[in-house]
Amino acid sequence: MLGLVLVLYGVYNLITPGVPHVQHEKYAVPFGLLAGVLGGAYNTSGPPVVMYGTLRRWSPESFRATMQCYFFCTYLATIASHGVARLLTPLVFELFLWALPGIGVGIYLGGKVHRMIPRQVFSRVLFSLLVAIGVLSWL
């Protein structure tokens, strides 16, 4: 269901000339609630936050900085809760160490690619990635 919502939202925004503009911060509450529910159920709290950011029409710089801070805090809390639940096993740490080079390359390349994307193209790239993530979630 989450994948379908991501695909529909992404495609809708790719084919319409502009997304609605949310000016008031009160809309953060329902998006935050939905992010919390999805985070608790599927460990996927990002899509509602991305949707909120696009509806608020944050600049690419603000969007990137906000997403980095949000995901850093969210995943710190996730790691802490997994630790409390005793889910952090030696295998988890080993797999994390194996993933570190890929994480480092992704951070480096993301920083380079971010600077290459013109401001006008940013939204199209973002919505295309949402569609791709939605499709991948079906697999």
Residue 74 in contact with residue 45, Cβ under 8 Å? yes
Provide the residue range defining the domain that includes 60: 2-87+119-138
- Residue 57 placed within a domain: yes
- Residue 125 placed within a domain: yes
- Residue 108 placed within a domain: no
% of the chain exceeding 70 in pLDDT: 98
Average pLDDT, integer, range 44-73: 87
- Residue 127 placed within a domain: yes
* Burial class of residue 74 in the structure, from the number of CB atoms within 10 Å of its CB (0-12 exposed, 13-18 middle, 19+ buried): middle
pLDDT value for 31:
92
Number of domains comprising the chain: 1
Q: Distance (Å, rounded) from C-alpha 3 to C-alpha 13? A: 15
Q: Residue 2: name the closest of 131, 139, 137 by CA.
A: 137
% of the chain exceeding 90 in pLDDT: 35
Residue 17: pLDDT band (50, 70, 90) is low
Average pLDDT, integer, range 2-10: 86
- Residue 12 placed within a domain: yes
In whole angstroms, what separates CA 132 from the centre of its chain? Answer: 12
Q: Residue 78: name the closest of 133, 41, 130 by CA.
A: 41
- Residue 97 placed within a domain: no
- Residue 94 placed within a domain: no
Average pLDDT, integer, range 29-41: 90
- Residue 104 placed within a domain: no
